[in-house]
Amino acid sequence: MSIICSACHDTKVFCGAMVNPNTKEIIHYTDEAFYDGWCENCGKGQVLVNTEETILNIDKAFYNYHTIYGKKPLYAVCQVRYKDDISYNDMVFKLSLDIGKDDDEIFFYCNGIKDLKTLAVPSKEDFLITKLNYFYKPSKL
């Protein structure tokens, strides 16, 4: 599992768990424990991101879309976090390098699904995809 800080993308992160203080045994942790934690690099609490889970969710949603509609989606709406900002934004990604009339609505052009998934792991880009919201193909096409 690759759980990273959503701000600096470092893996030196910690999350909460129920620990027996006498034996130091981890008793329990919830799935939500992996969403908020402490980043050693940032020196403060941050939202944590499981990059492998994000990629797996993209793959599952892409498969489901293709199965239901019989074609590949043209767009993905994803939650992104900028490296220098604590806010999250829902942005439109085009799964094609073709520039068209919708150019003003597109945040980022990807050369297909494989390219989209690379943006869910730390890269040279100033943002990180933290969640896929949904895929779609405009009805006018």
Distance of CA 93 to the CA centre of its chain: 13
Q: What is the pLDDT of residue 34?
A: 66
Nearest to 88 by CA among 137, 131, 58, 51: 131
Q: Walk along the chain (141 residues) and give the pLDDT tens digit of each residue.
A: 588 888 888 899 988 877 788 888 888 776 666 667 889 998 988 888 889 999 999 999 999 999 999 999 999 999 998 877 777 899 999 999 888 776 788 999 999 999 999 999 988 888 999 999 999 876 654
Nearest-Å Rg of the Cα atoms of the chain is 18
Residue boundaries of the structural domains of the chain: 3-48, 51-136
Q: What is the pLDDT of residue 73?
A: 94
Exposed / middle / buried, residue 87 (Cβ in 10 Å: 0-12, 13-18, 19+): exposed
What six digits make up the tokens of 7?
Answer: 């701000």
pTM: 0.81
